[in-house]
Structure 1
Amino acid sequence: MNVSDVAEMLGKTQQTIRIGLQRGIFPFGAAYKLDENNKRYVYVIYPEKVKEYLGENYGKEN
């Protein structure tokens, strides 16, 4: 699962997901830099945590 997948599932932009992970706002993943000189982040997203965040009724028809 990647940033694009999560953004689509939550109906948010990819940038929103990236910033949320960088700031520790979203509980389903993390963002980190490989070293101090690198401006790029690496994102780790845990699919089971995304499902928990969305709730068990996500994707089910009413």
Structure 2
Amino acid sequence: MKVAEAARLLGVTPTTIRIGLQKGVFPFGVAFKMDEHNKNYKYVIYPGKLKEYAGVFTEGEYQND
């Protein structure tokens, strides 16, 4: 899943997603550098964890109360 898609789902900016992943604030993905000299991050967002975090449920899923 792309950063922009995650941002749309949560109603925040892509920058918020990037910084949150870099700082380890969000539990639905990771940010990493390929090597320590690289200034650019790569982002991996796990769609299932993002949906759970956002409270989004698809057909056949439900929230336990």
TM-score range, shorter chain: 0.7 to 0.9
Task: Report what 2:25 is aligned to.
Answer: 25
Letter in 1 for 2:6: V
Q: TM-score normalised to the size of structure 1?
A: 0.87
Q: TM-score normalised to the size of structure 2?
A: 0.84
- 1:31-46 matches, within 5 Å, as 31-46=31-46
Q: Which runs of 5+ in 1 are unaligned?
A: none
Q: Which runs of 5+ in 2 are unaligned?
A: 59-65
Letter in 1 for 2:36: E
Structure 1 runs of 4+ with >4 Å offset: none
Measured against aligned partners, the alpha-carbon deviations of 1:5-33 in whole angstroms (never above 9, x if no partner) come to: 00011110000000000000000000000
- 1:1-62 matches, within 5 Å, as 1-56=1-56
How far is 1:56 from its partner?
Answer: 4.0
CA contact (8 A) 2:51 2:57 kept: no
The SS at the match of 1:44 is strand
Aligned length, in residue pairs:
58
